[in-house]
Amino acid sequence: MTQLLIDQLHDTLLEALGLAFPDLPKNEQHIEIGPATSEKFGHYQCNSAMRLARSLKQPPQKIAEAIVENMDRDGLESIEIAGPGFINLTLHPLFLSNRLQGVLKDHRLGIPKPMQALKIVVEFSSPNIAKEMHVGHLRSTIIGDAIARLFEYLGHNVIRLNHVGDWGTAFGMLIVYMREEVPKVLGGTQRADLSSLMHWYRESKKRFDTDPEFKTRARLAVVELQGGGEKALKAWKFICDVSRSSFQEIYDLLEVKIEERGESYYNPQLAPIVADLMKRKVAETSEGAKCIFIEGIDLPLMIEKSDGGFTYDTTDIAAMKDRVDHEKADRVIIVTDSGQSLHFKLIYEACIKAGYLDPKKLRFDHVPFGVVLGSDGKKFKTRSGETEKLIDLLKTSVKQAHAILTEKEHDLSKEEIDDLSQILGIDAVKYADLSSNRISDYIFSYDKMLRFEGNTAAFILYSYVRINGIKRKANHVDISTLSGKETISLVHLTEISLGLHLLRFGEVLRKFADDLLPHCLTDYLYQLAGKFNLFFRDCKVVGSREESSRLLLCEVAAKTMKQGLHILGLRTVERM
């Protein structure tokens, strides 16, 4: 079983600490280790001597010295104490070479299997029926898909859920309007698309607000729908189907797989849950409504309105409970805009209070993200002022990628350019989103995201193509035979630096799994491309004495880059 470099060093340091200070109670957390701030100082750095000074009643310098004296130096080239007691560790090139050789042969690229596969619910995308998906849903889809792919790759059991907004009083209004104004649509003899649904929705809302009789009919339709009335259900299903096929078009373009489990799924569970919460006095009546108050937060959750209707809050409590009870989830992750952070904090606290969720057994993360801005710094809109339709936005990116690729000097056929622009256009949108810190707002710019320089999809893809170009140039060797008989030997500084970076892939993925920040992985890939370019600048590959070793290094670099991009949901190309 492979161990991550960082864990191996951690254990070595911990053992040395135990030998140096046998009276200190054993505690994993006594040793903390991270990558060195600069490769000038070494590969990894441990600052624990400073933190242990107080409990050991000794100066950090002394503690560091004692640890170093007791350390097993296997695999290390140098150990240095710097400043007040930093321990800088530099790994031996031979050791790194051997480790990398192991990665080359491992289909998991040296990433340890999880001790136990966890059941992880990743809820993302979640648009609303009878409404267009907007850029917020695009962010949720891209980020959520990357998170789901990450856990799948790590070897966990992932369920991807689309919590679509498919239930609520608004459907009563829309159904009545459609019955009265466009009966042929519901009758199945006239076609409809999402735009027409949205139009009817707006019209029905207008009528609802001005015509009291219409309002009554709409309310009755809601009762009919919630009571399971066949005709109302049929109309509702039709509306959902039309919306669904328009969402699917986007998922297909993005190559995102997701299982729909919308709000309506939880409908039968709502009344019993509210009754349970009331009975156990977790909820109370306040101004005619049933609410849950959480200490320290002014806003309560409203689980039943005074008219008896259930809410977004009720559904989310039911969803959480369902994921605990039926899905037996170890982890639940929900990806939405940061505007819903307070909502999910309330849901989480309420579920703990009700005993529906045990925080020791289940980890819940709301994964918030910022808004998408236009280049003017305002909320992203199209020129006409309407919120941009998602599908158009993606198609524009593909079109612009096409124009850029056509202009570039190349020897690609028309078909190749078509395929390439499809991949690059979509990759660019995804990468731009994932590479910005998800918590901040991000500026949407086709120009920026389609550049070939800087931290962009095009740059990374191009680097990947270059690595493959080298492998292609060496057409006299077969890489898979080569890896069976030749070894990697890291000698040049740029080789060592690249090799070390490749060995850190698992470390980065683990961090991503913990903080759920995709930009850590894009940063890693960007650095990988940079380190590869330095290596390629300084080290001749094909035709050199070190050809075999270097080709194998290229192979690990290519595999790692491809895998990293795959986790982010980006497609790679072999030529560009």
The gap from C-alpha 491 to its chain's centroid, in whole angstroms, comes to: 36
Q: Which CB atom, from 335 or from 488, has the smaller least distance to ligand ARG? A: 335
Question: What residues numbered 165-194 form the site for ligand ARG, per CB under 6 A?
Answer: 165
CB closer to ligand ARG, 268 vs 339: 339
SS3 for 408? coil
Q: Does 548 bind ligand ARG (CB under 6 A)?
A: no
Question: Is residue 366 close enough to count as binding ligand ARG by CB under 6 A?
Answer: no
Amino acid in the structure at residue 93: P
User: What is the token pair recorded at 84?
Assistant: 């007040």
Q: Which of 128, 264, 314, 468 binds ligand ARG (CB under 6 A)?
A: 128
- In the numeric block, the tokens 């679509």 are attached to 164
* Helix, strand and coil percent figures for the chain, each rounded to 5: 55, 10, 35
Q: DSSP class of residue 368?
A: E
How many residues bind ligand ARG (CB under 6 A)? The answer is 10
Handedness of CA 307, 312, 313, 316 (dihedral sign): positive
Rg over alpha carbons for the chain, rounded to the nearest Å, is 28
Site map for ligand ARG, 494-533, x if CB under 6 A? Answer: ----------------------------------------
Hunting for tokens 């701030």 — which residue is that?
37
Q: What are phi and psi of 105, to 5 degrees?
A: -95, -5
CB 317 → ligand ARG: shortest distance, Å? 10
Q: Which stretch binds ligand ARG (CB under 6 A): 60-68, 97-105, 121-129, 214-222?
A: 121-129
Q: Which stretch binds ligand ARG (CB under 6 A): 122-130, 295-303, 367-375, 565-573?
A: 122-130
From the CB of 486, what's the least distance to ligand ARG, in Å? 52
What is the DSSP secondary-structure string of 159-180? EEEE--B--STHHHHHHHHHHH
Least distance from C-beta 495 to ligand ARG, angstroms? 47
Identify which of residues 247 and 464 has a Cβ nearer to ligand ARG in the complex: 247
Q: Could you tell me if 272 and 356 are in contact, meaning their C-beta atoms sit under 8 angstroms apart?
A: no
Stretch that binds ligand ARG, among 84-92, 123-131, 207-215, 424-432 (CB under 6 A): 123-131
Q: Convert residues 455-474 into a mask of x (bound to ligand ARG by CB under 6 A) and - (unbound).
A: --------------------
Are residues 92 and 77 in contact, defined by beta-carbon separation less than 8 angstroms? yes
Within 10 Å of residue 346's Cβ, how many Cβ atoms? 20
Q: Looking at 125-133, 176-184, 351-359, 554-562, which segment touches ligand ARG (CB under 6 A)? A: 125-133
Beta-sheet pairing, 442-443 with 372-373: parallel
Task: Rule CB under 6 A: choose which of 334, 372, 398, 568 binds ligand ARG.
Answer: 334
Stretch that binds ligand ARG, among 119-127, 236-244, 322-330, 547-555 (CB under 6 A): 119-127
Range in contact with ligand ARG (rule: CB under 6 A) among 53-61, 93-101, 120-128, 217-225: 120-128
What lies within 8 Å, CB to CB, of 369 at 6+ separation is 139, 140, 143, 335, 336, 337, 338, 438, 439
Report the nearest approach of ligand ARG to the CB of residue 305 (Å): 17
Residues in the chain: 576
Spatial distance between the Cα atoms of 97 and 109, rounded to a whole number of angstroms: 14
Which is nearest to 46 in space by CA: 30, 34, 61, 58? 34
Beta pairing, strands 331-337 & 363-369: parallel
Angle between helices 414-435 and 519-538 (to 10 degrees): 120
Nearer to ligand ARG (CB atom), residue 207 or residue 323: 323
Using rule CB under 6 A, residue 126 touches ligand ARG: yes
> Closer to ligand ARG at the Cβ: 94 or 297?
297
Looking at the DSSP bridge assignments, the partners of residue 302 are: 291
Tokens of 21: 């200070």
Minimum CB separation from ligand ARG for residue 283, in Å? Answer: 19
By CB under 6 A, is residue 141 in contact with ligand ARG?
A: no
Q: Please pick, from the candidates 132, 224, 304, 316, the single residue that binds ligand ARG as defined by CB under 6 A.
A: 316
- Give the up-direction half-sphere exposure of residue 486: CA atoms within 13 A in the CB hemisphere: 20
Q: Where are the alpha helices (DSSP H) in 297-413?
A: 312-325, 341-353, 390-407
366 DSSP 8-state letter: E
> Position 265: which residue type?
Y
Q: Which is nearer to ligand ARG, 343 or 451 (CB)?
A: 343
Decide: is 144 part of the binding site for ligand ARG (CB under 6 A).
no
Considering only residues 314, 336, 436, 468, which one is a binding residue for ligand ARG as defined by CB under 6 A? 336
Site for ligand ARG in 148-167 (CB under 6 A): 163, 165
Q: Which of 319, 372, 398, 517 binds ligand ARG (CB under 6 A)?
A: 319
CB of residue 239 vs ligand ARG: minimum separation in angstroms? 15
Between 319 and 426, CB nearer to ligand ARG: 319
Using rule CB under 6 A, residue 317 touches ligand ARG? no
Note the residues at the interface with ligand ARG (CB under 6 A). Answer: 123, 126-128, 163, 165, 316, 319, 334, 336
